[in-house]
Every structure is written in C-alpha cells, then in structure tokens.
Amino acid sequence: MTDRITVALVDDQALFRAGIRMLISSQADLEFVGEAGDGAEGAALVAARRPDVVLMDIRMPVMDGIEATARIVSDAEEQGVVAPKVIVLTTFDLDEAATRAIRAGASGFLLKDAEPEFLLAAIRTVHSGNAVIAASATRELFEHFGAAPAAPQEPPAFGTLTEREREIFALAARGLSNAEIARQEYLSEATVKTHVSRILAKLSLRDRVQLVVFAYEHGLAV
C-alpha cells in the first residue's frame, strides 16, 4: 500500500473537529494524526507529529490561525525540514484574514461549509504540490486587502531571473495559468511549466500562490 497523506486539524469547535476526524479517517489514502483546539496547541502538535497537511481555523482563542501558520512555517525553516501544507478554514469567501494567512505561508483557504468531497480533494491537491486557491483568486484577494509598497523593492534573488523568466513571472503574478501564458508568449505549456518551476526555485517559493504574494509584497505586481 502506498504511504497515506497524514492530516492534522486545528479548530476550537469540538463538534466540527469530530466531523472532520470521521471524514478523514474514512478515506483509505488519508490518515488523521491529531487535533488541537487553538493555534498554540496546533503549532506544538505539528512539531510533534509532522503531518503532511494541516487544516487550520483562522479565528481561535490563545493564538489565531494566522500566527499559528507563521509559526509552523518558521519552525520548519529553523529546523531545516519541509513545512506542512496549510489550508486555512474561513467562513467568508473574500476574507482579509485569509489574505493574511496566505501571506503567512498557507497554501490556500476553504470555506468551512464546503462540501466534504471538496475538502478531501483540497487535501490531496495541496499534498501533490498545488495550491487550493488559484493564483488569479489570490491576486483578487490581494487587490482587495493586500497593501503593496509604494515603489518596487526588488530583492537580490529577483535579480537572478533571466529576462524571459521575468516576463513569465509578471504574467504569473497577474494570475494567468500556464496555458494562458503559453498562448500569450507562443510557448508550449511544458516550457512555461519549466520556467515557472525555475522561478519558484530561484525565489525560494513553494507555489504560484506564494509567487503572487511575493509580487505584491515587493511592489512587482502590475
């Protein structure tokens, strides 16, 4: 049998946790490895159990999901291990808190009333290396809530990009998909995918969502 995807849940509602635990445990390819009722407990749980994916509520006592997500990511960086993929759970679609969580390192967000099948698909999606929220939706979030610097602030790593990679970066930061970039630049999707992978590696970014965040934080989004 192939290795199962390990999942942890951080949420302050016991009834909600019970339902999610049952749902995940019912799947042959998923393994529920623990739950916590606040962000501080959640960060400790992640450090102890090293789950592949964390479902993280945003609004909780003691420590909210945004701070917990940032701590989980920074702890992993300090220890030289791969951080788990974090999916934040929110009750609002266009939510400033979700934007802050993505900035802190989450791979996307889901509404808490999402269909069970959608939640399960999201877990498998982030584990495979993709973000739950599309880059275009991320851009929309940041246009609503993400304050960008008044002037571009190119970090040193950005200077390592080739001219072609900068062109691809700009289009990806606008939320265009690989297919859309390929059509606009008269390239194959495979070539665009290769360029995007190199850009992410050079900028030490995990996915296209983080690329959009990077672009906004440094005033590079156009």
Q: What distance in Å separates the CA atoms of residue 135 and residue 174, rounded to the nearest whole number? A: 8
CATH number at residue 212: 1.10.10.10
Q: Domain containing 113: what range?
A: 5-133
Q: Is the pLDDT of residue 143 over 70?
A: no
One domain for residues 82 and 180: no
One domain for residues 123 and 181: no
pTM greater than 0.75? no
Backbone angles phi, psi at 90, to 5 degrees: -140, 160
pLDDT at 146: 56
Q: For residue 201, tell me if it sits in a domain.
A: yes
Neighbours of 85 (CB within 10 A): 27
Mean local confidence (pLDDT), 108-120: 85
| Contact between 107 and 101 (Cβ < 8 Å) | no
> Which range scores top for mean pLDDT: 40-54, 177-191, 195-209?
40-54
One domain for residues 57 and 122: yes
* Radius of gyration from C-alpha coordinates of the chain: 18
Q: For residue 139, tell me if it sits in a domain.
A: no
Number of domains in the chain: 2
Contacts of 121 (CB under 8 A, 6+ apart): none
Q: Give the pLDDT band (50/70/90) at residue 23.
A: very high
One domain for residues 191 and 123: no
Q: Is the pLDDT of residue 151 over 80?
A: no
Backbone angles phi, psi at 37, to 5 degrees: -100, -5
pLDDT at 1: 43
One domain for residues 127 and 202: no
Indicate the residue among 75, 109, 133 that finishes a domain: 133
Indicate the residue among 112, 133, 154 that finishes a domain: 133
Q: Which residue has the tokens 């003691």?
A: 62
One domain for residues 126 and 160: no
Classify residue 10 by its DSSP letter. Answer: E
Q: What distance in Å separates the CA atoms of residue 106 and residue 101, rounded to the nearest whole number? A: 6
Q: For residue 222, tell me if it sits in a domain.
A: no
